[in-house]
């Protein structure tokens, strides 16, 4: 069987299964999630054995320590997958809810019903637990899923896929509700992202390079999560205690995450007062500072920032700092350089905050809060399949609702168009 | 200047202008719409002269009568554009509304703010009044627009563009809020749909061929409106008076529209009773009937339908009719053959209606109503930029809200992540 015909058959099966899972009752979907959890729990030895094969191959292929760590399954990580399934079972089911009901002059009653997207394709890299995260969110939101994991995790993913199959079958759902691609051939990805008849949306999870390649080649809508070049702007009317706390937390709470601050903007009139104290706090934590000319004049240890620094997502203990004239220049700088992920203003001036919230064009805009709050769990989504830096469909953290759409529903009593 | 550099400069200007129009107050946007209406009203002679050039070229190039009719501007159509602008000025402004406010355990307050998409690219065919329709909806929803009309309407569209410019300038808005491409070179379309840095979404308006070509080549999200193969299913529990009225209205009210019924499904147990009467009504109106075997056995004048008939959007007085065993087969047939535009069930059985509404995967699903209601005006959107057959972002009639997105807003008082 060629890759093309294999993927076409995966697609056909997914489309058929999507009809069944779209119509499934909440209780049946929750039973399936718990049955998959049971299957994982009963299959620990197999999962660990399959993962050992991947780990051995990874070591032989020279994967670095960070990648090997991401690839590894152990008892604790299996517990994590099981808990994840239980948590998704407890989330409210978005499907079927009818909202915005209104009577129209023609006599029809109009509303919107929340429905699954249909078939979701997920393309991800080394971590095998993504297989369970993604499958569980798609299942709960009534979608069929086609999962394509990294080639380095193929044995682990196939072992997890077998557990998912058993769980689905145990409750009488078709096993094709979740399909895990069983080949490491890259052509399978090429097919998956160019089958609009069978796939309704693609969610790539991985590095910026992977996501850009997929977006460029896809013929199916892609929910993209590119980079997070997040900003905090400390306004002239900021409370300086809040400013220090937020600026330190946004940068140093965790470095390798997309909602960490990468650039700090400071209003000129408070720069002299604020920057020395802030520099001391950052230096204490080992954060390298790169500043504009005015910043460097105030902070001796700061290096001169280049144009590229304003674009950079460091994901590291490095921070770019720019002194700006005020709110206008801050908004302009952010809308020019940010990746439209998350930005925050620190100010006690309500009018300035309102302008910042409205005019900054990012998926999350904040007032007097750390950018680190831009997160599916902090936003109460329960779980997230990614953080979208797109504007179409879903923006920011994408949970169950981001995997759904709404259709129009019309209730009549024999109405016809005049 | 090459087409590429011209389009890059159009894109850069649109992105800059989008910041201004996104932040513009409702009153200013409404003033701009009315100023454009005034400019059109004051420029009637120029508009008609420019259109006469297009009409003359069209006749010389052998455009058929239908295309020439679509291309023509006259006093009445100019009145129509002016009224359209006034109506859009009266629509509520979706931008800036904050909804779904909730307090999170961390102490932050979370909500969603409705925002413009940014820059909308519209690609359309011969009718020059689309220039005003599209520009007005985008302007009201706070978006900058790049319009690319058909080459046959270039003189008319440039004359309309001059009026839009004057209207924008009259109220102090940048004229680049609405840009009309000034070249008929097809390469301009190729650039427009591959500039994700400058264009946030493409809305193609035209035939299925145009839309499929654009979707295949685009590197920017596309809101697609493909075909409308709409179905009515007359259930075994239908009220036959309602069934006759709806089946006749959905097919014969207008033939050339995307929400006209193209296939009729009839439950076997009511076929003998219903089809002869229905056939007489259709025959009276000159509708050609193509039926399955069982239909042809009941309706003598029906031709035998082929497989292709179940896929067909006739846009003509032709109807495909199939007798089905009941609800299950009706849903299966629709989900297989329909274009996911609009489908309606006629039944007095609430449980059957509920299953149909939930399980039929189309942008509008209806109970005891004519498919002809699937329309922006009937749904109270005030105006529509198209009817989306996509599932992502906007489904069904797309009005102002479909040209917007939501961003997350976080209100804190100094909160940091623990």
Task: Give residue A142's pLDDT band: very low, low, confident or very high (50, 70, 90).
Answer: very high
A4–chain B Cβ distance below 8 A for any pair = no
Minimal CA separation from B245 to chain A, in Å: 7
Closest residue in B to A250 (Cα–Cα): B416
Helix (H, G, I), strand (E, B) or coil at A388: strand
B92–chain A Cβ distance below 8 A for any pair = no
Determine, for residues A221 and B390 on separate chains, whether the beta-carbon distance falls below 8 Å: yes
Which CA distances in Å does B255 have to A162, B161, B206, B372?
A: 52, 33, 17, 10
- Look at residue B238 and tell me whether its pLDDT is greater than 90: yes
Closest residue in B to A372 (Cα–Cα): B417
Task: Give residue A392's pLDDT band: very low, low, confident or very high (50, 70, 90).
Answer: confident
Summarised one tens digit per residue, pLDDT across range B36-45 is: 999 999 999 9
Determine, for residues B118 and A246 on separate chains, whether the beta-carbon distance falls below 8 Å: no
Determine, for residues A408 and B364 on separate chains, whether the beta-carbon distance falls below 8 Å: yes
Phi, psi (5° rounding) for residue A112?
Answer: -125, 135
| Residues of chain B positioned with their CB less than 8 A from the CB of A22 | 359, 361
Instruction: Give me the pLDDT at residue B377, please.
Output: 86
| A200, A245, A409 member nearest B391 (Cβ) | A200
Helix H or strand E encompassing A265: strand A261-267
B99–chain A Cβ distance below 8 A for any pair = no
| Residues of chain A positioned with their CB less than 8 A from the CB of B368 | 411-415
Determine, for residues B416 and A253 on separate chains, whether the beta-carbon distance falls below 8 Å: yes
Buried b (16+ CB within 10 A) or exposed e, A163-188: bbbbbbeebebbbbbbbbbeeeeeeb
Phi, psi (5° rounding) for residue B290?
Answer: -125, 120
Summarised one tens digit per residue, pLDDT across range A316-364 is: 999 999 999 999 999 999 999 999 999 999 999 999 999 999 999 999 9
d(CA A258, CA A373): 11
Beta bridge partners of A267: A324
Determine, for residues B106 and A378 on separate chains, whether the beta-carbon distance falls below 8 Å: yes
A304–chain B Cβ distance below 8 A for any pair = no
- Look at residue B389 and tell me whether its pLDDT is greater than 90: no
Cβ–Cβ < 8 Å for B205, B123:
yes
CA angle, A191 then A195 then B187, to 5°: 95
A409–chain B Cβ distance below 8 A for any pair = yes
Determine, for residues B113 and A358 on separate chains, whether the beta-carbon distance falls below 8 Å: yes
Closest residue in B to A113 (Cα–Cα): B358
Which residue in B22, B217, B33 sits closest to B120, CA to CA? Answer: B22
Cβ–Cβ < 8 Å for A191, A3:
yes
Selected for mutation to probe chain B from A373, A378, A401 (highest B CB count within 10 Å) is A373
B361–chain A Cβ distance below 8 A for any pair = yes
Which residue in B165, B142, B167 sits closest to B35, CA to CA? Answer: B167
Summarised one tens digit per residue, pLDDT across range B122-150 is: 999 878 998 999 999 999 999 999 999 99
Instruction: Give me the pLDDT at residue A93, please.
Output: 96
Determine, for residues B19 and A359 on separate chains, whether the beta-carbon distance falls below 8 Å: yes
| A374, A390, A417 member nearest B370 (Cβ) | A417
Please enumerate in sequence order all residues whose Cβ is within 8 A of that of B334, keeping only pairs 6 or more positions apart, or say none. B231, B233, B265, B343, B360, B362
How much is the ipTM here?
0.91
Summarised one tens digit per residue, pLDDT across range A195-252 is: 999 999 999 988 888 888 998 899 888 988 878 999 999 999 999 999 999 999 999 9
């Amino acid at each position: 069987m060629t890759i093309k015909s294999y993927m076409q058959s995966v697609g056909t099966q997914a489309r058929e299964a999507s009809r069944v899972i779209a119509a499934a009752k909440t209780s049946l979907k929750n039973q399936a999630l718990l049955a998959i959890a049971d299957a994982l729990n009963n299959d620990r030895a197999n999962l660990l054995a399959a993962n050992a094969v991947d780990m051995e191959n990874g070591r032989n292929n020279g994967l670095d320590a960070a990648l090997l760590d991401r690839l590894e399954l152990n008892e604790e990580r299996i517990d994590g997958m099981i808990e994840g399934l239980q948590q998704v079972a407890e989330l409210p089911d978005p499907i079927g809810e009818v909202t915005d009901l209104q009577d129209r002059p023609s006599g029809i009653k109009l509303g919107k019903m929340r429905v699954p997207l249909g078939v979701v394709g997920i393309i991800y890299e080394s971590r095998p637990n993504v297989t369970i995260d993604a499958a569980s969110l798609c299942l709960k939101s009534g979608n069929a899923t086609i999962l394509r994991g990294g080639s380095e995790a193929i044995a682990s993913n196939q072992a997890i896929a077998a557990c998912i199959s058993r769980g689905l079958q145990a409750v009488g759902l078709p096993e094709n509700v979740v399909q895990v691609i069983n080949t490491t051939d890259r052509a399978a990805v090429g097919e998956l992202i160019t089958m609009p008849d069978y796939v309704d949306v693609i969610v790539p999870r991985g590095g910026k390079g992977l996501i850009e390649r997929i977006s460029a080649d896809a013929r199916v809508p892609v929910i993209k999560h590119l980079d997070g070049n997040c900003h905090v702007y400390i306004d002239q009317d900021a409370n300086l205690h809040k400013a220090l706390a937020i600026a330190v937390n946004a940068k140093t709470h965790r470095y390798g995450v997309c909602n960490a601050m990468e650039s700090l903007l400071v209003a000129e009139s408070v720069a002299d007062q604020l920057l020395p104290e802030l520099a001391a706090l950052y230096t204490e934590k080992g954060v390298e500072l790169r500043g504009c000319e005015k910043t460097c004049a105030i902070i001796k240890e700061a290096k001169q920032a280049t144009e590229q620094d304003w674009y950079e997502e460091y994901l590291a203990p490095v921070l770019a700092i720019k002194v700006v004239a005020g709110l206008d220049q801050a908004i302009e700088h952010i809308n020019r350089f940010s990746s439209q992920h998350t930005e925050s203003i620190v100010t006690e001036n309500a009018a300035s905050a309102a302008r910042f919230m409205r005019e900054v064009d990012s998926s999350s805009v904040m007032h007097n809060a750390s950018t680190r709050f831009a997160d599916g769990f902090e936003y109460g989504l329960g779980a997230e399949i990614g953080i979208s830096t797109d504007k179409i469909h879903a923006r920011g953290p994408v949970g169950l609702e981001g995997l759904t759409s709404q259709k129009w529903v019309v209730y009549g009593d024999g109405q016809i168009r005049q």
